Structure 1
Amino acid sequence: MKKVMMTSIATAMIASAMAAHAAQASQPVPRGIVSVHADGDVNALIEGVNKAFHDFKAEHTKQLDEIKKGNADALQALKVDNINADIAKLQAAVDKANEQIAASAMNGGGVALKDKEYTNSFQSHMQRGTVEASMNKGAAPEGGFLAPTEWDRTITDRLLVVSPMRGICFVQPTSKDSFTKLFNNRGATSGWVGEAAARPETNTPTFGSLTYKPGEIYANPSATQQMLDDAEVNLEAWLAGEVDGEFALQEGAAFLSGNGADKPTGILTYITGGANAAAHPWGDIKTVASGSAAALTSDGIIDLIHALPEEYTGDARFIMSRTTQGSIRKMKDGQGNYLWQPSMQAGQPATLLGYSITTMPGMPAVAANSTPILFGDFRRGYMIVDRMGIRVLRDPYSKKPYVQFYTTKRVGGGLLNPDTIKALKVSA
């Protein structure tokens, strides 16, 4: 009965909030973007998360008490797991609503187009294939066209919301086919001397370098010519909605575990023992043992936090999968306080020991020798390199009667500073 009740509450709250968000969408916007005019729906979800977490703590405490008495109850354990799953659903809905609020703020109306003439020409080209004089500024030698400024910015803003790594890492635009950064390895020395003593030459600092080369990501959505002829919707918004989700999916996977071949080099590959552990001039991302050969422990997470130098903790956060969060939700500190805490207000993530958690699909699961959690200041630790400009090539010939819009973007990524990030490794 408890499971049915909690599931019903979670489902009802999520459905109610999402329906209210959908009802507020009055303007044509890219698919997946919902206009949010108030925080009421998010607050209702947050209230649900906190209520569910309160119930979870009560039931989990009962479970632990029974275990101490030697009366492990499988039904009680199932009840705790079911409530835990409901919390995960509610927190996911909160995170989604927060994304929608951020996306709505980024893509809010009322801003005059900076390049209206070219934007209108681009719209005309998408719809009918005409090339007007004002399109010349977007012409490329290979016959493609740059997206208008507003459309390019829309995609970039949406990727910032739906691609978690973009929201927490440093993004470097570049107009070149690669970006090379110098790293000061230091090494300068000095010495004390008397007034008239000789002053021999001292050691000079050395530099290392790392090159970040963008790979190319593409999407190829299509629409019938009749749809384009009769469309009363904003075709730029429609195309943005088709493209941003796919770009975010591919980018997210590459920023985590990409091998660097025609794609970014993933942050996980720089961890000690990883494929690129020796690639950075300053070394690899160090690991901290979880304290158990096949599980997470509260002491291991505390050790992970304290392994990070204090100067990098101000903007530090955790990244992990939602499944890993479910495991951590049962952990307590030495005073019996739960380490995980739910969101308390709209726009704020859940926290672990006071530090924000960014849910990252694609992070490893908890298993022996895996690294399911990273902790650190990712804006100072990982760099995303954007080759400036998104290109769109209109193709009405390859798949008649569909018109395809071959859309490409060049993006790379790599480790910026290994000292700002630590990884939790599941090991004793």
Structure 2
Amino acid sequence: MDIQIPTQTVMADTPNQSLSDSFDIVARQDKAEAAIATLRSDVDEVKARVDKIGMAAVRPAIGGASTAPSAEVKGFVDGYLRRGRESEVKSISATTPADGGYAVPREIDAMIASELKEISPIRGLAQVVQVGSAGYRKLITTGGTASGWVGEAAARPETDTPEFAEIAPPSGELYANPAASQSMLDDAAFDLEGWLASEIAMEFARAEGAAFVNGTGNDQPLGFLSSPTSLAGDAVRSFGSLQYIGSGDANGFDANPESRLIDLVHTMKAGHRQGASWVMNSATLSEVRKLKTTDGAFLWQPGLVEGQPDRLLGYPVVEAEDMPDVAGGTFPIAFGNFKAGYIIAERSATQVLRDPFTNKPFVHFYATKRVGGQVLDSSAIKLLKIEA
């Protein structure tokens, strides 16, 4: 049975329906285009933020604290160091030392300290403490028993009285005097704070590196090689004396050098051996690298990964050029846990005095810092002496 649909109804509804569908399609297209435009705008904004973060990440930071110099740094560098305007420094910090210098901002001081640790071998190994005054003292227990074992109901016997020794590292004024021409200072592209930190750190590292090894203790640190030495073991040796063993030959190493080095390692307590290092200069190191065991194997173990230190008998080797060469009666090799064995006490603020008059047309920057050092725990550092 056929169904008849009135022609006039179809003819009447079709144009309106088509028009409505067209409007819906256009509206949907407009919404889609608006959504796409919004999405593109969001993507562009996110991309701009990511690019900004990336640029900030690669921008060199002063002291690692901020990507832009602080007002204190700008006033110190652009005002005082470049142009000698003391008023800009005084407006930031009212502390002025008696000698007329100014304490460098913390950011620049942190740069100096970071470079010092990288290029000063003993500083990178030793314990470093910051002090606010010229002196530093520390009490150390050297003997006595303050504990014991008893039963639950047993009497508690009196323990021995602990014995103490006072550590007061000798200190002195460390100074550096780098110079720059006025044209260098007038150049805005010249990285003055980076240059100054690097120059001061290099001079400080050279001077303190020698003092931490061979310092006399008179207006300078007492070097660990200047401390008293003894063949006695830890149990009977006097406090502050470093133990040493002989090399077996009056002029160098004997026929069985590995046994001497192994003995040197095991004169140290097991607790101190964790974190211990060898210290020697490059001339001694060249001889040590040639040493072999009785079966022909080298004692030297080069680092297999970039950044990993070379090792001798499993312990890292640190080069300190201020250590003596191999010769009769010297101590060319030290083995120790310097974090426990040697202490460096320094006043945290570095002082800088601008001097444009002494050596015209150059401007000198006279930098000073008070640094002290001394053996802290003599059982944590052992020495090899060249003797029969």
Q: CA RMSD, aligned part only?
A: 2.7
Name the SS for the 2:350 alignment partner.
strand
- Matched residue type, 1:325: L
Match of 1:243 in 2: 200
Q: Tell me the distance in 2 between the aligned counterparts of 1:363 and 1:400.
A: 38
**Any residues of structure 2 matched to 1:353-372 within 5 Å, and which?**
353-372=313-332
Q: Residues 344 and 202 from structure 1, CA distance in 2 versus in 1: closer, same or farther, beyond 3 angstroms?
A: closer
State whether structure 2 residue 167 is matched by structure 1 residue 207.
Answer: no
Q: Higher mean Cα deviation, 381-390 or 335-344?
A: 335-344
Match of 1:119 in 2: 73
Match of 1:150 in 2: 107
Alpha-carbon contact 1:351-1:357 (below 8 Å) kept: yes
Kindly tell me the number of residue pairs found equivalent between the two proteins.
319
Alpha-carbon contact 1:271-1:423 (below 8 Å) kept: no
State whether structure 2 residue 101 is matched by structure 1 residue 164.
Answer: no
Gaps of 5+ in 1: 1-103, 275-279
**Any residues of structure 2 matched to 1:23-422 within 5 Å, and which?**
111-112=65-66, 116-123=70-77, 124-130=79-85, 131-132=87-88, 134-188=91-145, 201-272=158-229, 282-296=239-253, 297-422=257-382
Match of 1:39 in 2: none
Q: Residues 109 and 371 from structure 1, CA distance in 2 versus in 1: closer, same or farther, beyond 3 angstroms?
A: closer
- Matched residue type, 1:356: P
Alpha-carbon contact 1:298-1:333 (below 8 Å) kept: yes
Alpha-carbon contact 1:113-1:150 (below 8 Å) kept: no
Q: Tell me the distance in 2 between the aligned counterparts of 1:146 and 1:109.
A: 16
Q: Tell me the distance in 2 between the aligned counterparts of 1:112 and 1:283.
A: 44
Name the SS for the 2:292 alignment partner.
coil
Q: TM-score, normalised by structure 2?
A: 0.75
In the TM superposition, what is the alpha-carbon distance from 1:202 to its structure 2 partner? Answer: 4.0
Q: Tell me the distance in 2 between the aligned counterparts of 1:113 and 1:188.
A: 54
Identical-pair percentage: 42
Name the SS for the 2:207 alignment partner.
helix
The one-character-per-residue Cα deviations of 1:293-323 (angstroms, maximum 9, x if unpaired) are 2212222111111211111111111001111
Name the SS for the 1:242 alignment partner.
helix
Alpha-carbon contact 1:161-1:167 (below 8 Å) kept: yes
Match of 2:46 in 1: none
The one-character-per-residue Cα deviations of 1:131-161 (angstroms, maximum 9, x if unpaired) are 2254324533443211011110111000000
In the TM superposition, what is the alpha-carbon distance from 1:236 to its structure 2 partner? Answer: 0.9
- Matched residue type, 2:367: T
Q: Higher mean Cα deviation, 343-352 or 394-403?
A: 394-403
Q: Higher mean Cα deviation, 240-249 or 127-136?
A: 127-136
Query: Which structure would you say has the larger Rg?
Result: 2
Q: Residues 318 and 200 from structure 1, CA distance in 2 versus in 1: closer, same or farther, beyond 3 angstroms?
A: closer
In the TM superposition, what is the alpha-carbon distance from 1:283 to its structure 2 partner? Answer: 3.3
